[in-house]
Amino acid sequence: MTRTLAPIRFGTDGWRAIIAQDFTFANVERVAQAYAAHLSEQAATSGATLVVVGYDRRFLSDKFARRACEILIGNGLRVALFPHDTPTPLISWAVKVLQAIGGIVITASHNPFDFNGFKIKAPWGGSAPPETTTAVERLVDVSLPKRAELLVDGRELLAPAVESYRQQIESYVDLERLRTAIGTVIIDPMHGTGGRWVEGFLSGGTLMVETIRANRDPLFGGINPEPIDRNLAALRQRVIDSQAFLGLATDGDADRIGAVDERGQTMTMHDVVPLLLLHLARRRKMTGGVVRTFSQSVLTSRIAAAHGLKLYETPIGFKYIADLMLHEDILIGAEESGGIGVKGHIPERDGILNSLLFLEAVISAGKPPSEMLRELHKEFGEFYFGRRDLHVAVEAGKELAARLASDPPAELGGFEVVNVATVDGTKLEFKDESWLLFRQSGTEPALRIYCEATSAQKMASLLAAGVALAPHNS
């Protein structure tokens, strides 16, 4: 009986699957061969043959990365393989500064511990655009994997790239000011590749820096390495116990961030991004466009308007932000999920840089994050964000979103619906700019309901009303 090969599909950022089920050495070989074939076509015109390869702390990630390198070598390409688990933004940086033809990161980012993934990096240091991943998908199984022994792993090429990354961070953030601050900050890499990178940039001064969950744990302590409230109990408690003024977290591969204020309360990206934007525009006097994905805050658009910055709105997914960063003058682009790109860096999310940058914003303000947020709300309006993820069959969720778009309710939760937007999913908008967004995943049974409202009570009411509309137990 012939076994059917698992389909290889690239999602928002890479191909991901469960380890030993579909994420196997044989399937990594299939994907690596397809990518190698794609790169060989590119190399025929560009002449470049170097591919940077890195990996995270997940089970067997180092072995999967080495196997991918063996396929690349078998196809006549050169590799530079990181010798240790490495943050994704640093791998992306290395792709750019080494003028590589592309890059591979073996990581499943913030997904559960039993997943792994295969991310492709473009020559400019960002995630591969859809046209690249589509081309790679088409090349899967076109030819059998060509594998050769990895005799030269090119690691010597990476030392200068790592050093230039350090220099980039040191030139971008006022580290001296951060190091000489008074107080305590807690860093939480959630057992991921962030490790002690942030602490390393901050040590040596009066600022007290403590890193928790810095050790490698392929099980991530029993939680998903995603820096959102339900996974940050350890960070919240440590901030309270140590009387720290800020807690900062990075996800499994260190490209996303999370934050906890001095009270031990998790800050959403609808808090962090507006505060960071205000710091860049007002304190740093930086200019450029502002990219707001469809689930990002109203406050972002209000701050952009107040500072004369052009606003762009995109579907959800950092690839849309990255595309604008490549072609337009963009100051900041951010996702609700913690991915932030900033001007003067690579068109990529970087949890290490953004952790330091948000710390700079807090220290520059000279006041605790909760007070910064109160002042932000006083000046630009009070908004509160919430999100619910429901287990809903793909077709049922899509049908709900389509029905709400074509025949929206006149009111929901007692509040009048004044507009419907369909950039990505279906967003019901209310008179005071509160909104409720229904967005069904196209690849998994997950209906995400997002809400931003002018009070915590209204946000909770609208979310409850949205959940009541959703198909249950699908």
- For residue range 247-291, list pLDDT tens digits in order: 999 999 999 999 999 999 999 999 999 999 999 999 999 999 999
Average pLDDT over every residue of 152-161: 95
Quick one: how far is CA 172 from the chain centroid? 20
pLDDT at position 2 over 70: no
- Check residue 416 and give its pLDDT: 96
Rounded Cα distance, 73 and 179, in Å? 44
Average pLDDT over every residue of 301-318: 94
Q: pLDDT for 52-84, tens place per residue?
A: 999 999 999 999 999 999 999 999 999 999 999
Q: pLDDT for 119-147, tens place per residue?
A: 999 999 999 988 999 999 999 999 999 99
Average pLDDT, the chain: 95
Q: Buried (b) or exposed (e) across 276-307, using 16+ Cβ within 10 A?
A: bbbbbbeeeebebbbbbbbbbbbbbbbbbeeb
384-469: CATH topology is TATA-Binding Protein (3.30.310)
Domain boundaries for CATH 3.40.120.10 within the chain? 15-165, 181-380
- Check residue 442 and give its pLDDT: 64
Average pLDDT over every residue of 438-460: 90
Rounded Cα distance, 222 and 113, in Å? 8
Instruction: Return the structure tokens found at 108.
Output: 């499943």
- Check residue 474 and give its pLDDT: 45
Query: What superfamily in CATH does domain 15-165 come from?
Result: Alpha-D-Glucose-1,6-Bisphosphate, subunit A, domain 3 (3.40.120.10)
Q: pLDDT for 161-199, tens place per residue?
A: 999 999 999 999 999 999 999 999 999 999 999 999 999
**Residue at token pair 């000011």:** 177
CATH architecture classification, 181-380: 3-Layer(aba) Sandwich (3.40)
Burial class (CB in 10 A: 0-12, 13-18, 19+), 95: buried
Q: pLDDT for 408-423, tens place per residue?
A: 999 999 999 999 999 9
Q: pLDDT for 201-229, tens place per residue?
A: 999 999 999 999 999 999 999 999 999 99
- Check residue 1 and give its pLDDT: 42
- Check residue 280 and give its pLDDT: 98
Which residues, in sequence order, are bridge partners of residue 78? Answer: 50
Domain boundaries for CATH 3.30.310.50 within the chain? 384-469
- Check residue 443 and give its pLDDT: 59
Tell me the whole-structure pTM to 2 decimals. Answer: 0.94
pLDDT at position 200 over 80: yes
**Residue at token pair 């204020």:** 261
Identity of residue 362: V
- Check residue 3 and give its pLDDT: 60
pLDDT at position 148 over 70: yes
Q: Which residue in 380, 277, 372, 281 sits closest to 334, CA to CA?
A: 277
pLDDT above 90 covers a percentage of the chain that reads: 90
